[in-house]
Amino acid sequence: MNECLRALVIPASGWWIIQFLEHDMATVTRDFKEVSEAIRELLKTVERRTREENAPSFRTFERAPEEYLARFEAAAPLNPIDLGQEFAPTKGIELRLETETPPSGEV
């Protein structure tokens, strides 16, 4: 299985929130150039906890709330992240950038 995850990058008051869709998990960074690294660090942290503390793998997390899917579909595509074999079977991350604040102002 060559799973590709999807993530929405949301600008929020000087931060960049990265919300995954297939698994309800998120991370943040202050620097847009570090989005890729923030994603890798999140996945490494969850996988390390899975091995060392018998915590659940991110692959067992529930999906993100449906509102994020609609926001993802309306967002601008970014270059995908190729993860190689580091998190197999997950091969990559499809990223999209939200360019408008949601109507309620929530992120």
Backbone CA torsion sign across 44, 88, 92, 54: negative
Owning domain of residue 75: 3-97
- Within a domain: residue 52? yes
Token pair, residue 95, equals 């990223």
Domains contained in the chain, number = 1
pLDDT of residue 100: 67
Distance between CA atoms of 45 and 68, rounded to whole angstroms?
23
Question: Which is it for strands 3-12 and 15-20: parallel, antiparallel or unpaired?
Answer: antiparallel
Domain-located, residue 106:
no
Would you say residue 102 lies in a domain? no
CB atoms within 10 A of CB 38: 19
- Each residue's pLDDT tens digit in the chain (107 positions)? 357 899 999 999 999 999 999 989 999 999 999 999 999 999 888 888 888 887 777 777 888 999 999 999 999 999 998 888 887 778 889 999 998 655 444 44
